[in-house]
Structure 1
Amino acid sequence: MTDQPDLSPGESGAQGSNVIVDLREYRNGKDPIPVTFHRRELDAILRIYGRMVGEGEWRDYAIDHTLEKAVFSIFKRSGEMALYRVEKNPKLAAKQGAYSVLNAHGMILKRGHDLAQVLRVFDKALKLIKS
């Protein structure tokens, strides 16, 4: 069994190669490409994720790529809801910024055009310790 179409006796396979396909129509007919994180974006996110795992605050993550946005979800335990979501939504790039960090309730903690600036929401404030 092959993936080739069944041909009638005397019919050759070369006849189908004479079809001209407009590339614009071909591209439009294909499934749209989902939004993804680029390597540098993932590096920045995973750097913070690794630090927080080392501190014992986070334990699991998930990455989702949809047609509208890419989402990096952060979990305390894998069976629970995400503590935070780092989202990339290119449709908002010209307005509020493509990147945002949301908490478990869906409230936006920080939004902007620069991912590094948005990820600073996870930086811990220095505390004065009295001895």
Structure 2
Amino acid sequence: MTNPSATDSSADPIVELDARRHRYTITVASQVAGFTQFFDHDRQRVFFHTEIGKEYGGHGLGTRLVAEALDDVRAAGLRVVPICPFVKSYLDRHPEYGDLVDPVTPDLLARVSGA
């Protein structure tokens, strides 16, 4: 069995919120290619981990995943806390999302680390 290619034009990537698992996923040809995990704190969505499968790397799927997740956060009227380095890097390169960003605080970091 072969893995679907992220470059297959018939395999248009789909980003979806998986609220039960507290993550957004990106799917290519019915296969989960990656995800970004979060937890909600008050009116903040705290992103702490993003992962794209090795076989899907280099095709911009992480960028699309984060962009669509942030658009969903905006539509829901929430704020973003970027603990995840990938999400933070994306936000640094896309100032149009700057109005959504709240700072990372020690208590939120402690929650991620389990301290």
Q: Which has the higher helix share?
A: 2
Q: Which has the larger radius of gyration?
A: 1
- Name which structure has the greater RCO, CA cutoff 8 Å, separation 6+: 2
**Fold shared, TM-score > 0.5 on shorter chain:** no
TM-score, reference length from structure 2: 0.29
TM-score, reference length from structure 1: 0.26
